[in-house]
Every structure is written in structure tokens, then in C-alpha cells.
């Protein structure tokens, strides 16, 4: 049987994060029973969540992204890794005078970029209790 429509990234994200309604969950599970491609995408999202949750002091914002922040002498710097469809990952930093990043093919490359570039920009940084607080809205950073 040829499957004409696959589950969207948003539906898979909701399924993994357990935020779908009961009906949407049942529809998704029915589709996953017959669709190998969507099961594979779901497995990638689940593996991503396992890896991110194992990292200290990160907050998972969805099955496709996570964010952490550091209070620096230059202000609050937010760093985020986000799944970029099926093509890769975006890794970026932003803050009062900073907004940049890159797209990578793998989660490992994206995370390595964030860690390395942050340490290059802020080599003397020591985390405080204000670090890792992702509750501040982006427009206030």
C-alpha cells in the first residue's frame, strides 16, 4: 500500500512530547502502525530527546529543539539547537549584541559548534545560578 500523506513534523513533535489530544494520538498511532517512514522519523526524534535530556541543565522545548542560556558580562546569551526539517540542524547564539549561528547535518555537529563558539567568545565564563534559565522571552534578550 502506498502512503500518500505522512505525519507532519508538528504532529510527530506533539506525539513525542505527549501534547496531542486523545483523538490526534489515536490517528497518529494508526498511521505509525503502517508507515515505516514516519516510524523512522519518530525514532530520530525520540533519540534526540534521550540525548538532550541526558545533557545537564538543558531545557527541552520540543522534540526538535532545546535551549540553554548563560549570564555573561555582555548580558544574557541564549544558545539553541533546532531540527531543520529533515535536512539537518540549526545552531545559534543570540544576545544583546550577538545573533549568529550555522546549519549542520548532524546534532553532534550543531552541539559541538555551540560549545566551541561559546567558549571562544566567553573563555572566562563561569556558570552561575542565572545560567540555563530559558524562561526569558526572546524579544527581551
Give the full edge-to-edge strand order of the sheet including 88-95.
59-62, 65-72, 75-84, 88-95, 98-104
pTM: 0.52
Using one digit for the tens of pLDDT, what is the confidence trace for 38-67? 998 888 777 766 665 655 555 555 556 677
Domain membership flag for residue 109: yes
Domain membership flag for residue 4: no
Question: Taking all residues of the chain, what is their mean pLDDT, rounded to a whole number?
Answer: 78
Domain membership flag for residue 2: no
Same domain, 100 and 132: yes
Residue 79 is part of which domain span? 59-140
Same domain, 20 and 83: no
Same domain, 49 and 89: no
pLDDT of residue 135: 38
Same domain, 104 and 76: yes
pLDDT band at 14 (very low <50, low <70, confident <90, very high): confident
- The total of structural domains in the chain comes to 2
Amino acid at each position: 500500500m502506498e502512503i500518500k500523506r505522512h505525519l507532519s513534523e508538528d504532529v510527530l513533535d506533539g506525539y513525542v512530547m505527549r501534547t496531542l489530544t486523545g483523538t490526534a494520538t489515536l490517528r497518529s498511532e494508526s498511521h505509525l502502525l503502517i508507515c515505516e517512514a514516519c516510524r523512522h522519523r519518530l525514532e530520530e526524534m525520540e533519540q534526540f530527546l534521550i540525548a538532550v535530556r541526558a545533557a545537564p541543565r538543558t531545557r527541552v522545548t520540543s522534540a526538535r529543539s532545546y535551549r540553554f542560556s548563560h549570564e555573561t558580562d555582555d548580558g544574557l546569551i541564549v544558545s539553541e539547537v533546532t531540527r531543520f526539517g529533515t535536512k539537518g540542524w540549526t545552531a545559534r547564539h543570540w544576545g544583546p549584541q550577538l545573533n549568529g549561528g550555522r546549519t549542520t547535518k548532524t546534532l553532534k555537529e550543531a552541539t559541538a559548534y555551540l560549545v566551541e563558539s561559546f567558549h571562544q567568545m566567553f573563555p572566562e565564563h563561569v556558570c552561575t545560578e542565572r545560567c540555563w534559565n530559558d524562561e526569558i522571552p526572546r524579544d527581551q534578550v
